[in-house]
Amino acid sequence: MPFKLKVLIFWLSSTIFGVFLLSVFTDSVHPPAQSLRASETFLSEDNLTLIHRLNCSVEPLLSPKHNLSKEAFKWWKQLQLERRSFVTYKAAVEKLFQIFPTGPDLPKPCSDTTKTCSVVGNSVNLKRSHYGPLIDSQDIVIRINAAPIKSYEVDVGTKTTYHVMYPESARDLDNSTHLVLFPFKIQDLEWLVKAFTTGFYGMSYVRVKSKIKANKDLVMVVNPAFMRYVHAVWLGNRGGYPSTGFMALILALHICNEVHVFGYGADSEGNWSHYWETLANKNLKTGLHAGQHEYAVIERLADEKAIVFYKGWAFPLTV
């Protein structure tokens, strides 16, 4: 065999073998492409820790003194295709504070007073977790949407300080729990007033409670400007808008010095499944929300020791 041909064969063999080794090595040291997609863009945005995004000047709750900017209103009204005007919004807010407290009982944002929070999501990964006592051991416990407690106490605890919801996810509360409304449209503000007075009989995309049992003196309403801040600053405007669970977590960062996070993450098929039910539609994934990106933010905050993140024991999580 000619010498030049031998050299060519040797060079090709070496190159192929080298490429093979490189592919094996890179597969072993990098996570799968799917997990990278959730965070690679986000993680490359800046070199600062994520907790630097916490802006203590943003008021989490609505009050009669707060003047929502027209720019923020324009963003907010697109969330669920609100067609009514800024004037109508202001009238609804004015009526709201004729019934509910004007000075919300919420710890001062980013204060030096040491408070610990449990933020309890609704993921199926809470099943068999036995996190109940740990959840209840924190000063403040925040629960989200329908979130039943009865029959699930060992995994989710029994204590509730703030229960965040919107009309379509509303549930009755005991007399000591704060109802925290996340409003996505003007009708949500109107629902809150009517649910405590005459009863609500309007239409929504699902049936809503006409009346609600809760302590009206403990009612709070989240500021639409806070919702916009979470979407823009914490999620980089990804997804239609932030999930209620993600906004509750950022709210906890504003009011507590130490935040413990439970019950977040999708099931093994990538769906947001609840701990109390069997999911019927397995094609929903995370809906309109940037579920993968929200989860990447939570993991990054945990890596930075800004939160303590408990992932549950039901199965290996996916996002």
Note the pLDDT tens digit of each residue in 297-313. Answer: 999 999 999 999 999 86
Please report, as a single letter, which amino acid is at residue 150: K
Strand extents, DSSP E, 95-155: 116-120, 140-144
Catalytic pick among 178, 254, 274, 289: 289
As a whole number of angstroms, the distance between CA 82 and CA 28 comes to 49
Q: Which tokens belong to 265?
A: 């993450």
Residue of 162, 166, 229, 241 marked active site: 241
Burial of 137-146, coded b for 16+ CB within 10 Å and e otherwise, reads ebbbbbbbbe
Instruction: State which amino acid sits at residue 261.
Output: V
The number of helix segments (H) and strand segments (E) in the chain equals: 11, 7
List beta partners, residue 222. Answer: 61
Query: In a 3-state reduction of DSSP, which class is residue 164?
Result: strand
Two structure tokens written together for 76: 């907010």
Which tokens is 266 given?
Answer: 């999708």
CA distance 237 to 240: 8
Spatial neighbors of 188 by CB under 8 A, at least 6 apart, are 166, 167, 181, 182
Burial letters 7-46, b for 16+ CB under 10 A, else e = eeeeeeeeeeeeeeeeeeeeeeeeeeeebeebbeebeeee
Q: What is the pTM of this model?
A: 0.83
Catalytic residue list contains 201: no
**Given strand 178-181, what is the order of strands in its sheet?**
220-221, 178-181, 162-165, 140-144, 116-120, 258-262, 308-310
Is 241 tagged catalytic?
Answer: yes
Domain map (residue ranges) of the chain: 1-30, 34-310
Q: Which of 126, 92, 81 lies closest to 272 in space, CA to CA?
A: 126
* Under 8 Å between Cβ of 316 and 268: yes
Round to whole Å and give the CA distance between 247 and 236.
14
- Looking at residue 37, its amino acid is R
CA torsion angle 84 89 91 95 (round to 10): 120
319 residues of the chain, pLDDT tens digit each: 543 334 333 333 433 333 333 232 222 222 222 232 334 444 455 557 898 999 999 999 999 888 899 999 999 999 999 999 999 999 999 999 999 998 767 888 888 888 999 999 999 999 999 999 999 999 999 999 999 999 999 999 999 999 999 999 999 999 999 999 999 999 999 999 999 999 999 999 999 999 999 999 999 999 999 999 999 999 999 999 999 999 999 999 999 999 999 999 877 777 878 899 887 776 666 667 788 899 999 999 999 999 999 998 654 444 3
pLDDT at 11: 39
* Helices 86-96 & 70-77 angle (0-180, nearest 10): 90
Q: What is residue 81's DSSP assignment?
A: T
What CATH number does the domain located at 34-310 have? 3.90.1480.20
Structure confidence by residue, pLDDT tens digits, 192-250:
999 999 999 999 999 999 999 999 999 999 999 999 999 999 999 999 999 999 999 99
